[in-house]
Structure 1
Amino acid sequence: MRKDAATSQHEERTGHGAGTPAPDAGHHDAIVVGGGVAGLVAARELALAGLRPLVLEAWSSPGGVVGRHEVDGLALDAGAESFATRGGVVAALADELGLADRVVTPERHGAWVRLPGGAGPLPRTGLLGIPADPWAPDVRRTIGVLGSLRASLDRLLPARVGTADGTTLGALVRARAGRRVLDRLVRPVVAGVHAAEPDDVAADAVAPGLVAAVRREGSLARGVAAQRALAPAGSAVAGFRGGLHVLVDALVADVVARGGAVRTSAAVRAVARSGDGFAVTLGGPADAEGPDGADAPGGGTLTTPRLVVATPRAVDLLAGVAPGLAGLATDPGADIVLVTLVLDASALDAAPRGTGVLVARGVPGVRAKALTHATAKWRWLAEAAGPGRHVVRLSYGRAGDAAGARAGVPRDLDALTDLALRDAAAVLGVPLRREQVRAAARVRWRQGLPVPSAAHRETVRRVRAAVADVPGLAVVGAWVSGNGLASVVPDARATAAALAAAVPPDRPAPTAHPEA
């Protein structure tokens, strides 16, 4: 087996290839702290408004959880690998960036769920595992006739049942469709997508508009069907030929072309007021998501009239700038480990579990919470890999686990490869041997998936209110908008556009202290 040489947290998570020319720090009139997709989208929006943004990213490459790494000669996504098509907002951005012809949808193999009692398909017409038709053959196979009978009662229940304001997704599904739908379909999906439990997430946060649709349509199943009808024709998710990380490359190039700059390995230590603007001090510990507390090279202080903070560290960084943030703490997010295996395994040519498998809690002998069969999901990757070579990626770590993804998950890549191989064989239903592993890679993400609970949403509301009281300041990112690019992109665009419009154009341009 050949293994990737880069296995440290820093190397694994920051191996992006986007060009990031060194900025002229004295000629930028907006600073964005955080170079993930939210920060880059915000910077682009500022540039579209005629401003010159400077993005400061603590890692050695931009992108955040939309990262890239190379495994066995294949350029693969190291984090997110698809986006929800709802609203068409990501596709519209791709079109503006010249990526429209690279948007692709997954192969139509379907996905599965692995339960303690066996495996079954997930609904092809559903939302977060909630079926639009409880009697569809794929649904009935997984939840059984009793589960379909109980789910059918949904259409007889008054619309008010389970739809109270602020209800959790778990309470909504349990009340209307029953425990089999919740435990066998919804719970594994929410764990895989949000690294959370359905009873811990607000229904409106993870499925915007669903509760209102249930009230309007009179049933959960019809509400799901109505929500699916609002989505663009085709798949509910999409990606890019070459990987989701091509979006980051395009955003960086566009920001730079419009007069902005992206500076990597630039950790921000502190933020303070400076006259009518802000002083941003560099050279402190990197973001909690980045290198293990290593000091960023360089230092100094930059001043700016406009500041966008696009990192979950925003509450800590801005405590001295926005008094209303005192005492607030956002959800820390799940601790996730992703293991990528490249296998010589012709038995996987038939995609025995479709595009991937979500794993319910309590499956004997399986620690992974999800598996993506990437070469079955994306045709472009299958073509790049060639016949018989397959890419599978396993995810470890759920919110609420005693030690996050570290609980029972080895740090040593050899031991982790053995674990991932056993899990892959179990959930795919195909024997796999160690000698079939061509390469393996480990990536760890922290603070990547905040749990969208009612408490977190209330904290976010208070954060936004506190930040709104400070002219020239804004916050963006999944921690405020919700997980996924379909939430992150429109929020970052709207927030940055409002910031550009609100700050008087005659404010002085930022200056840099000589040591910066």
Structure 2
Amino acid sequence: MAESDLLSRARATRVVVIGGGVAGLVAARECARVGFAVTLFESAEHLGGAVADAELDGLRVDAVADSYAPGAQALIDDLGLGDAVVPLATDDVWITGLPGAAPVPADALAGIPANPWADDVRRLIGWRGAWRAYLDKLRPPLTIGRQANLGALVGGRMGARVLDRLVAPLTRGVYGIEPSDVDADAAVPGLSTALTRLGSLSGAVGDLLVDAPDKARRSLRGGMTTLVDALAAELADYAVDVRVGVRVEKVGRGFDTRATQPPEGTRASRATQPPGGARPARATSPWTAEVAGEEPIEADAVVVATPRTEAHRLLAGAGVVLPRNTAPAPAPADVVTLLVDAPALDGAPRGGAAYPIAADAASVVHATAAWEWLAVDAGPGRHVLRVRLPAETAPDDDVIIARAVAEVAAAFAVPLTVDAVIAAHRARVEPAAPASVLGHADRAEAVRRAVAKAPGLTVVGAWVAGAGIARTVADAVAETDRMRHALLWDSGDENHPAPDVNP
């Protein structure tokens, strides 16, 4: 097909993206880069979704997501943000809730220790726990590698203390889920193979640590909303119509323009066939996006890039029958960001984060300890902390903030009261489950199969890709590329991806 035909087709193609989080912004960018006319709707008054910020006494801070994994680096570089990348000042994570607190052992994966006798392991599980974990090496090899459930695998092989004091605080603190909901091989790739080969869980972890990939989190100077701002700027350059504070009420089918085309194979149809065999623009039934107070917006394709609950509503309205959702998911949470005057925290007594053993306690991120640029901007003796609490329906902000302060004081073992709070921000979030949740890949594939029955409709976002900016970005690029391929080529031939043609 001639390049001019592709450009003409691209410019005649209209796409609606619903959701202005990272997934929606990336999807809109991928569509706009080939010349599609893109309209993006975001129901909130700002773009970014979970990548949001708050202003605390003039200080701009991340309110929810504050970092990204190496998998998102290509996008960061492509947006010209390479010079803004900053490493963690400390990757120490502490576990709290015992008579004392201690850092997560250095030689461990997902909290599973390579050596249960190591001092930093025994500090958390004690001699009794170390002896029980040692039995892992004596278990029969025939049972190895057959248990997908991380909680059952660790508890069965290394005992309750390793599970409850090392593994569970991390799965709850990072993702808000229990170890029993985690797929062991998804959480630690290669674990089952290493177990079968080496005969013990600790031996498998030790082997995998040798060539462990770089998973160090990174951030951007000024906060992760720098990424959102850069994406929004590119969309403006591509003349994407971005509408914030606008909720799409319904996605539905529009009209079928194929009904007005001459029958296939007739002289009239051959006379109207574009050069190179390209199909006529909008030869499929376009979609419509209905917005209150406006005429329905017609589109050749719609990308649903909202959180799970809203995506289910929109997809159901579009006639997509999704499989019954049985996935374990993190409960809604209140994320409280505090700016406090507390010189007692200057020494970062709990590293960059503290995760509790108790299931009902809060996780605390010490943002000014984790990110040096933020500590400089905050000033001497001032600290930013982010506290994740179970979502409350009744208490007002003052009650939730007081609880957050109490959780920090308990986790960090420092005297801290609400009098130290300079400013605070509360955000209600619907966390996405990680891709390591049991059955995630099968459920995501089932969702995609259901959506594929409605050509021109695509779904992206953390709820189907798995939590994390890197996974969300990679999934949005891949799914949007499939959609572009269908719109530009309409062949279904995956061996010929849509060309990256910029108008």
Shared fold per TM-score greater than 0.5: yes
> CA separation in 1, counterparts of 2:471 and 2:189?
10
Does the CA contact (< 8 Å) of 1:28 and 1:260 recur in 2?
Answer: no
Deviations, residues 133-155 of structure 1 (Å, cap 9, x unaligned): 43333222111223233333434
Residue 172 of structure 2 corresponds to residue 187 of structure 1: no
SS in 1 for 2:316: coil
**1:426 alignment partner, one of 380, 397, 410:** 410
**1:68 alignment partner, one of 49, 53, 73:** 53
Q: Which has the larger radius of gyration?
A: 2
Residues 58-457 of structure 1 mapped to structure 2, 5 A cutoff: 58-85=43-70, 89-108=71-90, 110-157=92-139, 161=143, 163-164=145-146, 167-216=148-197, 218-225=199-206, 227-228=208-209, 232-233=213-214, 236-274=216-254, 275=256, 276-283=284-291, 298-311=293-306, 312=308, 313-321=310-318, 323-325=320-322, 333-361=330-358, 368-397=361-390, 405-406=391-392, 411-449=395-433, 453-454=437-438, 457=441
> CA separation in 2, counterparts of 1:281 and 1:121?
50
**Alpha carbons of structure 1 residues 215 and 271: separation in structure 2 relative to 1, 3 Å:** farther
Partner of 1:4: none
**Alpha carbons of structure 1 residues 35 and 390: separation in structure 2 relative to 1, 3 Å:** same
Does the CA contact (< 8 Å) of 1:71 and 1:441 recur in 2?
Answer: yes
> CA separation in 1, counterparts of 2:97 and 2:137?
27
**2:465 alignment partner, one of 469, 473, 481:** 481
Residues 484-495 of structure 1 mapped to structure 2, 5 A cutoff: 484-495=468-479
> CA separation in 2, counterparts of 1:137 and 1:272?
61
Deviations, residues 396-443 of structure 1 (Å, cap 9, x unaligned): 12xxxxxxx227xx6322222222222111110111133222112211
SS in 2 for 1:239: strand
Does the CA contact (< 8 Å) of 2:12 and 2:36 recur in 1?
Answer: no
More moved, 143-152 vs 33-42: 143-152
Alpha-carbon offset, residue 391 of structure 1: 1.0
Residue 31 of structure 2 corresponds to residue 46 of structure 1: yes
**Alpha carbons of structure 1 residues 442 and 486: separation in structure 2 relative to 1, 3 Å:** same
Alpha-carbon offset, residue 480 of structure 1: 0.8
Alpha-carbon offset, residue 390 of structure 1: 0.9
More moved, 485-494 vs 215-224: 215-224
TM-score, scaled to structure 1: 0.80
> CA separation in 1, counterparts of 2:232 and 2:194?
38
**Alpha carbons of structure 1 residues 343 and 498: separation in structure 2 relative to 1, 3 Å:** same
Deviations, residues 299-328 of structure 1 (Å, cap 9, x unaligned): 331111122111223233123545442655
Residue 501 of structure 2 corresponds to residue 501 of structure 1: no
Does the CA contact (< 8 Å) of 1:162 and 1:171 recur in 2?
Answer: no
> CA separation in 2, counterparts of 1:259 and 1:98?
19
Does the CA contact (< 8 Å) of 2:362 and 2:407 recur in 1?
Answer: no
Alpha-carbon offset, residue 96 of structure 1: 0.7
Does the CA contact (< 8 Å) of 2:251 and 2:318 recur in 1?
Answer: yes
SS in 2 for 1:317: helix
Alpha-carbon offset, residue 199 of structure 1: 0.8
Deviations, residues 199-226 of structure 1 (Å, cap 9, x unaligned): 1233344444444444455443344455
Alpha-carbon offset, residue 170 of structure 1: 1.0
**Alpha carbons of structure 1 residues 231 and 267: separation in structure 2 relative to 1, 3 Å:** farther
Deviations, residues 277-312 of structure 1 (Å, cap 9, x unaligned): 44333336xxxxxxxxxxxxx533111112211122
Q: Size of the alignment, in residue pairs?
A: 451
Does the CA contact (< 8 Å) of 2:144 and 2:199 recur in 1?
Answer: no
Does the CA contact (< 8 Å) of 1:191 and 1:369 recur in 2?
Answer: no
**Alpha carbons of structure 1 residues 450 and 133: separation in structure 2 relative to 1, 3 Å:** closer
SS in 1 for 2:92: coil
Where do 5+ consecutive residues of structure 2 fail to align?
A: 1-10, 257-283, 492-503
> CA separation in 2, counterparts of 1:175 and 1:330?
23
Letter in structure 2 aligned against 1:315? H
